[in-house]
Amino acid sequence: MTVTTNAAQSGTFKVGGDIAVHRLGFGAMRVTGPGIWGEPEDRAEALRTLKRLPEIGVTFIDTADSYGPGVSETLICEALHPYKGLLIATKGGLTRSGPNQWVPKGQPHYLRQTVVNSLKRLKLERIDLWQLHRIDANVPRDDQFGVIRDMQKEGLIRHVGLSEVSVDDIKSAQKFFPVATVQNRYNLVDRGSESVLDFCAQNQVGFIPWFPLAAGNLAKSGSVLDAIASKVSATPSQVALAWVLKRSPVMLPIPGTGKVKHLEENVAAASLTLSDDDFHTLDTAGRKEASRSAA
């Protein structure tokens, strides 16, 4: 099998019904420093990685104001502005006090300020996809959804997404605005969001699985995943990503890295076509692994 490097081979999806992107995107969390804090250890390589994205067909880039904080958005602007042919999605609603520390903050005035700051850092007049990074359990959700609706009406936001939510959360938000995307943790062995994914597929809501390359024990030598990877001349991570892409046409995986080599390896997964038999074999093995992990 000839492996090429072009995200266009992953197919397309229209975010919000009107912004077409290649389904294999890029998560820009890892272009920051350790603990998703501060500047990257190799800033030049991080910028090279970002600049490589449009060259290999990546048109959907996901970031957040809390990555750095502010660092990821700033680097994206430096590398890619004015974003011709790209959808730059960002998120707000988490505060940072140090490396690997994340605290929800959903007060309406704060959410509005995150949007204003992201617009400045990205040098945009409107964010085409803005996502609530987390629903803050300490703030009435209607207050959070209400200010997002207001910002959409004001033209600061084009489409709205949610992150780490249930089907009920999505339905509650839809009373205020159309939900264009949902970003939940999901991969071959982490299947807790199956019902959310099914709901998204039924309603043409983009599903953005974060941590899409994880494969748990299936990544070990001699596993089913390892055997299939050998058969198709790919790495286990590439096969795990190809499985995610085949799982649903609304799937928009965003594997992230700060290195060009890793980026190209990830994007090469778009050229892999798993047979139905291999897909179902992996699906069964992944569900078993997920059940063992949950036990």
| Inter-residue contact 62 to 89 (CB < 8 Å) | yes
- pLDDT at position 263 is 98
The CA distances from residue 85 to 22, 81, 124, 198, 278, in Å, are 11, 11, 14, 29, 34
Q: Per the structure block, which two tokens stand in for 142? A: 């209607």
Q: Over the stretch 48-100, which tens digit does the pLDDT of each residue have? A: 999 999 999 999 999 999 999 999 999 999 999 999 999 999 999 999 999 99
What is the pairing mode between strands 19-22 and 12-15?
A: antiparallel
pTM exceeds 0.95, yes or no: yes
| Inter-residue contact 62 to 30 (CB < 8 Å) | no
Active-site pick, 67, 83, 110, 186:
67
DSSP lists the bridge partners of residue 21 as 13
Type of residue at 20: A
83 a catalytic residue: no
**What share of the chain in percent tops pLDDT 90?**
94
pLDDT above 80 (res 2): no
Q: Which helix (H) or strand (E) segment is 184 a member of?
A: strand 179-185
Q: How confident is the model at residue 295 (pLDDT cuts 50, 70, 90)?
A: low
- The predicted model gives 25-34 an average pLDDT of 98
Q: Over the stretch 147-199, which tens digit does the pLDDT of each residue have? A: 999 999 999 999 999 999 999 999 999 999 999 999 999 999 999 999 999 99
What span, in angstroms and rounded, lies between the C-alpha atoms of 212 and 68? 21
- The predicted model gives 8-37 an average pLDDT of 98
Q: Over the stretch 265-294, which tens digit does the pLDDT of each residue have? A: 999 999 999 999 999 999 999 999 988 877
- The predicted model gives 222-237 an average pLDDT of 95
What span, in angstroms and rounded, lies between the C-alpha atoms of 70 and 158? 21
Strand runs labelled E in 205-264: 206-210
